[in-house]
Amino acid sequence: MQNLIKECRKAVGMSQKELSNIVGLSCSAIGHYELDVREPNLKTWERIAKALHVSPAYLVWWSDAK
pLDDT over threshold 90, residue 52: yes
CA distance 47 to 33: 13
Distances in Å between the Cα of 37 and the Cα atoms of 12, 18, 47 are 23, 20, 19
| Mean pLDDT (whole number) for 27-41 | 94
Mean pLDDT across 21-28: 96
Asked if the structure places residue 12 within a domain, the reply is yes
**Tally of structural domains, the chain:** 1
Helix ranges restricted to H, 1-66: 5-11, 16-23, 27-34, 42-52, 56-59
Mean predicted lDDT score pLDDT of the chain: 91
Residue 52 structural domain: 5-59
Is residue 36 exposed (0-12), middle (13-18) or buried (19+ Cβ within 10 Å)? exposed
Write down the pLDDT at residue 61: 67
Predicted confidence at residue 33, as pLDDT, reads: 95
Domain assignment of residue 66, yes or no: no
CATH number at residue 26: 1.10.260.40
* Pick from 38, 35, 30: nearest CA to 14: 30
In a domain, 42, yes or no: yes
Percentage of the residues of the chain whose pLDDT score is greater than 90: 76
Per-residue model confidence (pLDDT) at position 60: 80
In a domain, 47, yes or no: yes
